[in-house]
Structure 1
Amino acid sequence: MIVGVDVGTSVTKAQLIARDGRTGPAHEARSTVYTLPGNRVEQDLDEVVGTVVTVVRAAVADAAALDPDEPVEALALTGQGDGLWLRDAEGRPVGRALSWMDGRAAPVLDRWVADGVARQVHARTGAGLFPGSAGPLLAYLAEHEPERLERAETAGYCVDAIVQRFTGERTVDASDASVPFLDVVARTYDEEALDLCGLGEWRKLLAEPAARGALFPLLPEAAAELGLPAGLPVSAGPFDIPACGFGSGLSEPGQGHMIIGTTLACQVLSDDPSPAGGDEAAGMVLATPYEDRYLKVMPAMIGTAGLDWLLKMLNVRIEELDALLAQSPYGAGGVTALPFLSTSGERAPFVDARARGRLDGLSPLTGRADLVRALCESVAYSARHCLETLGVSASVTACGGGARSGEWGRIFAGVLGRDLYVRDDAVGIRGAARVAFEALGVSAQAEGAEPHVVRADEEALAFYEEGYAQYLRSLAVARDNW
């Protein structure tokens, strides 16, 4: 069995995955997200490492109950991507990590958009830049805090920071390295993309991507902390979005996947490494553990976070969501929405830091259910926009908190015009375990049980086809006016 760990932005989870797909209980530990003036969002690496230790020890204690005859074969890590986690030669933090939600580098990105740098980088690497990606954050520190970069040995990401602490290896998974400077075909850094961003002198801070199937032995001191044997193989990646895709069973080009979480991440498996997004210079293309397979991703900033905001405003508990959605008809009684409720604007399937949400069609007859349904429908329209931009042509799976809602799932199926295959909550850990099992050369069914199928409602299909067209028209008008 594998101990799988998913290091989220604020919650770290771990559980055991057996070769036949059975799982042990999920264990969680929270870490602090520091939201500070100047659109700064930071995390403490030492605290995050501590959460991993806590949940791994708890998961290891379940091993005998899950299968007393099956040993723990590896530790498989996945977690949040983007951001900037600076470390010294020993892997210790050089200041707090800059989160993927950090907005301090927005002026840098504005310059790169205005002078064409962002578009040129996207054309070379397939990476759509946004304020919380490593490129703008590195450039910001080079301009405002160069001494921090001088003190650093590595400018990396969350997962590889933890791997260095546990194994001593200075490495990075190719999925993380893909954003934004990797040539995903050659799996080497695109030096011209670095130079375009004025970051050539800081190339030395980028760790070389690990080879496919790489495993790293657990250091004795880390093993003692984690309750695992020294030398146990550690698998490092892919990061959470691709891990969820592979944990949901992506295996053939054209298959799509959605994470309906705090953000809405849509992706498609492809044998074509060319950039997604076209003229929008949005999205990302990720290297994967598989030869000639790439993930094209549209990681929209919207998702359940916007719904959480609205429910809080309306004093509605999340447990009431399905009942509320059922009270409002298709089209939410004439209320429509644009779901761009992030202070950072939007990054997929278009990039605009000025993007903001709106509600239209209100009247004295509008109720809470209509407002909630309008927002949920708008998120589904955004998902279709992302998936169509990516060129999804086969089945679509889904996971995340939003996928637990049966009524919202039916909205997604109706808007997408296809059945939706919903996986359990362990997909990120399952994806990391799948990669680890394969690296070990072990045959395993990491995906677990068959997904739950949400059928597209025939009556909804025609209605949502027109609703989607209206959404695109409203979006075009809004973009002209932001």
Structure 2
Amino acid sequence: MIVGVDVGTSVTKASLLGRDGSARVTRSTRSTLHRSPGGRVEQDLDEVVDSVISVVRSVAAEADVPVQALAITGQGDGLWLRDAAGRQVGPGLSWLDARAAPVLDRWEARGVLREVHALTGSGMFPGSAAPLLAHVAEHEPERLARAEVAGYCVDAIVQRLTGRITVDASDASQPFLDVPTRTYSTAALRACGLAEFRGLLAEPAPPGELFALDARSAAQLGLPAGLPVSAGPFDLPACAFGSGTRDLGDGALVIGTTLGCQVLGDQVTIDPAGDAAGMWLATPSPDRVLRVMPAMVGTANLDWGLRMVGASVADLEDLLAASPPGAGGVAALSFLSSSGERAPFVEPRASGQFTGLSLDTSPADLVRALCEAVAYAARHNLEAAGLTGEVAACGGGARSASWSRIFASVLGRPLHVPKEEGVGARGAAMTAWDSLGEPVDREEWATARHVVEPDPAVAEFYERGYRAYLESIERARPVWRSGGGVTR
């Protein structure tokens, strides 16, 4: 058995996982997102670590056989500054944080975004590490003077539990890593004006490296000291592998807070003339990479839409049934994040819209239009990432049968949805078993999924809707760039 932990943006989950990929027991607890003016979104590292201790201790107590390892995954991007002992140097800056948008504006004007993309294949958005690091260097230099590590959520937790300063190559990939060599690009750091902070970046752990749980943390978790700890990959790639992505060209769709769209490949191909969006991620397998297009808003769109019409997630199936495909003529663009959009294009000032409204528009039409827009965004991103194979889907949105059918029909291909919900923890556990030299049967794991088929007639309708969606984006982008009445 392995204890898999997924430290999400606001929820931490732990599962006791068997080698067949099934969860024997799962526990979860919430942590706090602290929002303040200026688009600031922060987290307290102590609270996040406490959330890990709470859920791991709870599931470990249920184990009736020895636990082989602790496997950790969690949210990526953001900036988590720590000292040599793993204590936070100021709160963790979430990937949702928008304070560094002006940095991106300057970098775009000077060609920095395109230069870094040409070097590493990584696009940037306000909540990624590079602009956040530049913002802190400009406005809070004393924090960097006190920090020993500029890292991410997963490696911050690993440092607290094991005393080791490390980072998984998937986290390090964005934006400074040359993924094929797994070494940092000095040229990318220099382009961002951050070369002087190279010493704050931990060296990526080699594939298969395990760490050891220290005595103090072991006592808190109810696990033996010295237990192997696997760190990563972070949640997007962990979800891809945990949901059954295994063949070249296969895609994974994470319908969560982020709309994570990923395609598995075997080489990094960078188009210097292309839109500087998305990222290439190193994976636990040295001969495999993920092309990732992580759109900013997924289920957060749905939550907002339901609030606007006075409904809840429990009402979603009825609302979608009450409005036909096309939402009674209502169409939406789903760019509601305060940080704009980062994939498959970068527009920090992107904003949402509804068109086709009338006095006949119903609450169900508004919700369906938003759900269709998110599905169109998924197709846009997966196509940009090079999808050719099957698509696995996971995350909270995949639990809706009606929304899943919309995604399948928009994509024009079946969705393979894992029966186990905690796919991030599964992906982390799969990686841990590989590192232990006891790989699991990936074919067996992939059979534990149900298939959502597209409706051919609806798929034909959505094909036209998708073309209209792309045209709407092209009309909106000049408006966003000019300010368009939106101030951020």
TM-score, normalising length: structure 1: 0.97
CA deviation string 1:47-71 (max 9, x = no partner)? 111010000000101112xxxxx42
Alignment identity in percent?
Answer: 63
1:455 aligns with 2:430: no
Cα offset for 1:333? 1.0
Could you tell me how far apart the structure 2 residues matched to 1:436 and 1:247 are?
12
Name the structure 1 match of 2:438: 442
Q: Distance in 1 between the 2:286 and 2:182 partners?
A: 11
In the alignment, the residues of structure 2 paired with residue 202 and residue 22 of structure 1 have an alpha-carbon distance, to the nearest angstrom, of 43
Matches of 2:330 and 2:476, distance apart in 1: 16
Residue 274 of structure 2 aligns to a residue in which SS? helix
Counterpart position of 1:168: 163
Residues 285, 297 of structure 1: 8 Å contact kept: yes
Contact kept, 8 Å, 1:248 with 1:427, in 2: the verdict is yes
- Please tell me whether residue 192 in structure 1 is matched to residue 177 in structure 2: no
Shift of 1:143: 1.1
For residues 458 and 29 of structure 2, what CA distance do their matches in structure 1 show? 40
| Equivalent position of 1:467 in the other structure | 465
> Does the Cα contact within 8 Å between 2:44 and 2:91 map onto a contact in 1?
yes
1:159-308 → structure 2 map (5 Å cutoff): 159-275=154-270, 279-308=274-303
Residue 6 of structure 2 aligns to a residue whose secondary structure is strand
Specify the code of the residue in structure 2 equivalent to 1:60.
A
The one-character-per-residue Cα deviations of 1:242-291 (angstroms, maximum 9, x if unpaired) are 00001011111100010001121100001121237962100010001102
Alpha-carbon distance in 2 for matches of 1:7, 1:278: 36
Mapped partners of 1:474, 1:130: distance in 2: 22
**Matched AA of 2:184:** Y
| Aligned residue in 2 for 1:123 | 118
Using the TM superposition, name which of 223-232 and 436-445 deviates more: 436-445
Match of 1:60 in 2: 60
2:308 to 309, 313, 316: 313
1:317-343 per-position Cα deviation (integer Å, ceiling 9, x unaligned): 211111111111111111111111111
Report Cα offsets for 1:58-88 as digits up to 9, x if no partner: 0101112xxxxx4200000000001111111
Task: List gaps (5 residues or longer) in structure 1.
Answer: 65-69
Q: Which amino acid aligns with 1:57?
A: R
Per-residue CA distance 1:90-123 (angstroms, 9 max, x = gap): 1111111111111111111110111100111011
Equivalences for 1:1-12 in 2 at 5 Å? 1-12=1-12
Does the CA-based 8 Å contact 1:7-1:13 persist in structure 2?
yes
- Give SS of 2:25's match: coil
C-alpha distance in 2 between matches for 1:191 and 1:154: 17
1:479 Cα offset (Å) = 1.2
**What SS does the aligned partner of 1:259 have?**
strand
Match of 2:486 in 1: none
Q: Deviations over 1:172-213 (max 9, x none)?
A: 000000011001011010001000011111000000000000
Contact 1:247 1:431 in 2 (8 A): yes
Across the two proteins, how many residue pairs are aligned to each other?
477
- TM-aligned CA distance change 1:207 to 1:240, over 3 Å: same
Change (3 A) 1:277 1:315: farther
Matches of 1:276 and 1:267, distance apart in 2: 18
- Aligned-partner Cα distance in 2 for 1:77–1:321: 32
Partner residue, 1:432 = 428
Contact kept, 8 Å, 2:253 with 2:391, in 1: the verdict is yes
CA distance in 1, matches of 2:252, 2:360: 37
CA, structure 1 residues 448+46, in 2 after alignment: closer, same or farther (shift >3 Å)?
Answer: farther
Letter aligned with residue 475 of structure 1: I
Alignment deviations for residues 337-384 of structure 1 (CA, whole Å, 9 cap, x no partner)? 111111111111111011111111111221111111111111111110
TM, length-normalised to structure 2 = 0.96
DSSP-derived class of the 2:24 partner: coil
CA contact (8 A) 1:43 1:98 kept: yes
Rounded to whole Å, the distance in 2 between the matches of 1:84 and 1:354 is 21
CA distance in 2, matches of 1:30, 1:278: 42
Contact 1:275 1:284 in 2 (8 A): no
Q: How many Å apart are 1:445 and its aligned residue?
A: 4.2
Q: Secondary structure at the match of 1:296?
A: strand
Tell me the secondary structure at the aligned position of residue 268 of structure 1: strand
Q: What is residue 83 of structure 2 aligned with on the other side?
A: 88
Is 444-453 or 316-325 further displaced after alignment? 444-453
Instruction: Work out the CA distance in 2 between the residues paired with 1:479 and 1:416.
Output: 24
Task: Tell me the secondary structure at the aligned position of residue 81 of structure 2.
Answer: strand
One of 396, 399, 406 as aligned partner of 1:401? 396
In 2, the alpha carbon distance for the partners of 1:417 and 1:189 equals: 39
Q: Does 1:76 align with 2:43?
A: no
**Superposition map of 1:406-421 within 5 A:** 406-421=401-416
Which letter does structure 2 place at the counterpart of 1:185?
Answer: P
Aligned counterpart, 1:67: none
Cα RMSD (Å) of the superposition?
A: 1.2
What does the per-residue CA deviation read over 1:424-444, in whole Å, with 9 as the maximum and x for residues that have no partner?
311000000000000001142
State the distance in 1 between where 2:21 and 2:463 align: 38
SS in 2 for 1:138: helix
**Does the CA contact (< 8 Å) of 2:114 and 2:272 recur in 1?**
no
Question: Contact 2:243/2:427 (CA < 8 Å) preserved in 1?
Answer: yes
Contact kept, 8 Å, 1:82 with 1:134, in 2: the verdict is: yes
Partner residue in 2 for 1:15: 15
Distance in 2 (alpha carbons) for counterparts of 1:145 and 1:76: 34
**Which letter maps to 1:31?**
S
| Structure 1 residues 277 and 44: CA distance shift in structure 2, 3 A | farther
**Is contact 2:117-2:272 (8 Å) kept?**
no
Q: How does 1:145-156 map to 2 (within 5 A)?
A: 145-156=140-151
Q: State the one-letter code of the partner of 2:16.
A: L
Q: Secondary structure at the match of 1:432?
A: helix
Hey, what's the Cα distance between the residues in 1 that align with 2:107 and 2:479?
22
SS of equivalent residue, structure 1 residue 415: helix
State the AA in 2 paired with 1:184. Answer: V
Letter in 2 for 1:338: L
Checking the alignment, whether the CA contact within 8 Å between 1:82 and 1:133 is kept in structure 2 is: yes
Is the Cα–Cα contact under 8 Å of residues 243 and 446 in structure 2 kept in the other structure?
A: no
Matched residues in 2 for 1:32 and 1:263: separation? Answer: 17
Give the Cα–Cα distance (whole angstroms) in 1 for the partners of residues 440 and 392 of structure 2: 20
